[in-house]
Amino acid sequence: MRIEPLAGHRIWSRTYDDAPNPVLALELRVLRELVGPLERLRVVDVACGTGRWMACAHAQGAVVVGIDLCREMLARAVEKPGVRGHVAQAHAGRLPIRDSIADLALCSFALSYFSAPGEAISEIARIVRPGGRAAIADLHPRALQAGWKRSFRSGSDVYEIDHHAHPAGLIDAAAEQCGLHLVRRADARFGSPEREIFRAAGREDAFPEACRIPAVRISLWTKQ
């Protein structure tokens, strides 16, 4: 059954952290390498969900803030170390954060839920300080073309979340208009670390086929 993003994440919040997800694991592995050390940096996670990136950044010594529209996802986020007291419920297009405050702003697997991504990109650019960085990660367009779904199971029901496949050119143009300069782009594919997740889920036979196409697109900008 298809469901709109906020309603879907309210349901998904109950089980989102319960089992390893190879797509999330791949994104964390690759993006963590791209952004490098985070110690003493101010990191804002836009659409932070259950706070996985906040917990990761906090463990590296960053000062973290997370914003999400879904109250239920935030309730799971604050259970993680270093997250309680550092989250706010708000729309990504109207961030309750001062201008030029973040050394790094992240938006992971959320931009495709916006019909017009420019609003969120503008806000991300606004809160990043000059010389700071913005990172956006999402399911790769080729994965969507291959039939991959933004879906999850809850009990006996399978939900597919409504989303948009935004062309890279549209996102790049919106970022450039806001003063963001693209410095790195990674089209990440599954590797041996994710094989273990496939194996644990009893789906190792699907791993070779899943490796044939990029699973996640990650873009990293600096603010001019």
Phi, psi values for residue 149, rounded to 5°:
-115, 150
- Torsional sign, CA 49, 99, 165, 7: positive
Cα distance between residue 148 and residue 142, in whole Å: 9
Per-residue pLDDT at 211: 97
Range of the domain at 139: 2-223
**Angle between the 52-59 and 22-35 helix axes, to the nearest 10 degrees?**
40
Over residues 65-110, the pLDDT tens digits come to 999 999 999 999 999 999 999 999 999 999 999 999 999 999 999 9
| CATH assignment of the domain containing 46 | 3.40.50.150
Over residues 155-183, the pLDDT tens digits come to 999 999 999 988 888 999 999 999 999 99
Are residues 132 and 154 in contact, defined by beta-carbon separation less than 8 angstroms? no
The residue type found at 3 is I
What mean pLDDT is predicted for residues 146-151? 93
Cα distance between residue 124 and residue 94, in whole Å: 10
Per-residue pLDDT at 116: 87
Are residues 164 and 114 in contact, defined by beta-carbon separation less than 8 angstroms? yes
**Given pLDDT bands bounded at 50, 70 and 90, which one contains residue 19?**
confident
Q: Is the pLDDT of residue 15 over 90?
A: yes
Over residues 20-79, the pLDDT tens digits come to 999 999 999 999 999 999 999 999 999 999 999 999 999 999 999 999 999 999 999 999
Cα distance between residue 55 and residue 23, in whole Å: 18
Mean pLDDT of the chain: 96
State the Cα angle at 94 between 93 and 97, rounded to 5°: 125
Domain total for the chain? 1
Per-residue pLDDT at 167: 87
DSSP state of 7: H
Whether the full predicted model's pTM is greater than 0.75, yes or no, is yes
**Given pLDDT bands bounded at 50, 70 and 90, which one contains residue 115?**
confident
Over residues 178-209, the pLDDT tens digits come to 999 999 999 999 999 999 999 999 999 999 99
Q: Is the pLDDT of residue 134 over 90?
A: yes
Do strands 216-223 and 180-188 pair parallel, antiparallel, or not at all (unpaired)? Answer: antiparallel
SS3 (DSSP) at 159? strand
Query: Among residues 160, 167, 148, which one has the least CA distance to residue 22?
Result: 148
